[in-house]
Amino acid sequence: MIDQNLKDQIIYQVKEQVLLIMGACITLISTPIVLTVMGSNALTWLDQKLSSTKEPLSKRIGEFVNCKTQKTFEKLVQIKEDYYFVNWIILTGVIVPLFFIIAAYHSYCCEFSILLWVAYHSFRLGPNQIFASYIFALAHKEGHMSGLIYKNNLLGNILGNVYNWYIGIFYGLVPQSTYYGHCLNHHKYDNRQDDLISCSDRERDSMLNYLRYIPRFSGYSTNTTTIIQFYKEKHYDMVLKIIYGTLYWIGIILVFGQIFGWKFSIGYIVYPMIETNFIFSGFAWGWHAFIDPEDPENEFINSVTIVDGEFNDLNEGYHVVHHQYPGLHWSKNKELFEKHKDEYYKGNQATMFNSIESYQLFLLIVTKRYDIMAQKMAFRLELNTEQRKELLKTRLRTITWGPYTNTVQKRHKDI
């Protein structure tokens, strides 16, 4: 007879290897990202070359358009800082779909073109991926604001979920994933065991562990595990809404596949989901990579705060504030960070980094570049470099659930 503990260990190891293979396969499928990011970077170069100043041309155009439309669009929104939501709707809800239609027509009349595919996705991402970055931030905020962005009820009904149900389709967002998977699940469990995208059951400073994590995030981004989780929790009405959103997305794939061909449907609708899934699995891994073994409930440590990042779209870098006040308007994030700064620096020794971006932090974590992370640290400044590196290692290797648990954490977040 095999000892039960040994049997469980064998099953777990087999599962780990299966997850590793699945993660590697998803990564392999995601490799076209290299082409689209290269195209986006080419636009970045062109954007700067076409500008007569140090500022990129796209930024100058954006600032000009915002300036000219601000007074008009402020009248449409509940909070005046949201006025430029409308400009982004015009750019990504009209211009990007027009490019999409051109590509669809070409596929229908001629054939699927790799060059056109690269050109479309490069434009969709924008120079330095700024278009995609803002769309994800806007969809995120839209999910938390529950359609309460606009003053007029009719306008709110039409545009209240435009990023998650329309524009998001072009950027790989499956409808309902943001509201149910992110707002209602992730913020409820906050990287604990029942969080669909929890990464606290394995050491985060490992590329292999990240690959094992990708299938979990894929289940979330496709609504698969969200449906299962909400069914287990007996939220049957929510399950039906999530299924509806998922079928809506699948229906779009099938319709475009039948009319314009499956290469087009996969290349222009399925691919953005693969792209978004791969990129955001890395972001999720980095945002919640650090846990203090002596204080695993500490939300100042469990979420990363990025200070002075070059791209801080809608104050997304203040991730602790966002988890403390998920329904708070994005314009208040920095204000609350400044208000509680003493708690970050003194009492709680928050996980903070200077002058770094989310994707850079992720890469430093999985490649074990503790030296660079130690240089970027904005906390425990009294420690020398070696002490900082050890602190980072400890926080990255604290595990709160699963077979390798090495510290105790409450299963549910106190709300």
Residue 156 pLDDT > 60: yes
Residue 293 pLDDT > 60: yes
Asked if 260 contacts 100 with a C-beta cutoff of 8 angstroms, the reply is no
Residue 412 pLDDT > 70: no
pLDDT at residue 329, rounded to an integer? 87
φ, ψ for residue 410 (rounded to 5)? -60, 140
Alpha-carbon distance of 169 to 10, in angstroms, equals: 41
- Residue 71 pLDDT grade (very low, low, confident, very high; cuts 50, 70, 90): very high
pLDDT at residue 373, rounded to an integer? 95
pLDDT at residue 147, rounded to an integer? 67
Nearest to 362 by CA among 206, 216, 219: 206
Residue 397 pLDDT > 70: yes
- Residue 21 pLDDT grade (very low, low, confident, very high; cuts 50, 70, 90): very high
Name the packing angle between helices 236-260 and 224-232 (round to 10°): 160
pLDDT at residue 415, rounded to an integer? 47
- Residue 145 pLDDT grade (very low, low, confident, very high; cuts 50, 70, 90): confident
Residues 6+ apart with CB under 8 A from 39: 118, 119, 121, 122, 125
Q: What is the mean pLDDT of the chain?
A: 91
Per cent of the chain over pLDDT 70 is 96
Calculate mean pLDDT across residues 58-73.
90
Residue 84 pLDDT > 80: yes
Residue 270 pLDDT > 60: yes
Name the packing angle between helices 236-260 and 96-109 (round to 10°): 50
pLDDT at residue 89, rounded to an integer? 92
How far CA 328 is from CA of 23, 217, 409, in Å, comes to 35, 25, 26
pLDDT at residue 411, rounded to an integer? 64
Look at 99-103, 144-148, 281-285 and tell me which has the smallest mean pLDDT: 144-148
What are the DSSP calls for 129-188, one per residue?
A: GHHHHHHHHHHHHHHHHTT--BSSHHHHHHHTTHIIIIIHHHTTPPTTIIIIIIIIIIHH
Per cent of the chain over pLDDT 90 is 62
pLDDT at residue 2, rounded to an integer? 65
pLDDT at residue 349, rounded to an integer? 83
Calculate mean pLDDT across residues 235-244.
97
